[in-house]
């Protein structure tokens, strides 16, 4: 990925209690703009360094999180946790900055 390229996390099934990690490869940096989750699907968004997870957004009624500015690298990144009670599809998009 080159700077200016779209960062796309394609829709994928995420089990209840599991995470969708928005973690680019080594040496790449991205800004997450949108997290796509169905209406009524509960989830939580964390900032992580792989050891510590900081909850910064809880969405008990679901729906997407749009217009974010979450800066991510391979060592500090966003994790989206499915708290809905069943498997759901999640996706995300943003922009590669480095």
Q: In the 8-state DSSP scheme, what is residue 26? A: T
**Stated pTM of the model:** 0.94
Domain annotation for the chain: domains and CATH numbers: 6-96 (2.60.120.340)
Span 30-51, pLDDT tens digits: 999 999 999 999 999 999 999 9
- Predicted confidence at residue 73, as pLDDT, reads 98
């Amino acid at each position: 990925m080159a700077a200016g390229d779209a960062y796309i996390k394609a829709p994928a099934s995420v089990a209840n209690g599991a995470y969708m990690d928005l973690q680019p490869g080594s040496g790449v940096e991205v800004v997450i703009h949108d997290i796509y989750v169905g209406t009524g699907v509960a989830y939580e968004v964390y900032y992580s360094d792989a050891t510590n997870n900081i909850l910064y957004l809880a969405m008990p009624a679901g729906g997407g999180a749009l217009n974010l500015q979450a800066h991510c690298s391979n060592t500090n990144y966003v994790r989206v946790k499915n708290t809905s009670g069943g498997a759901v599809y999640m996706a995300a998009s943003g922009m590669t900055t480095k």
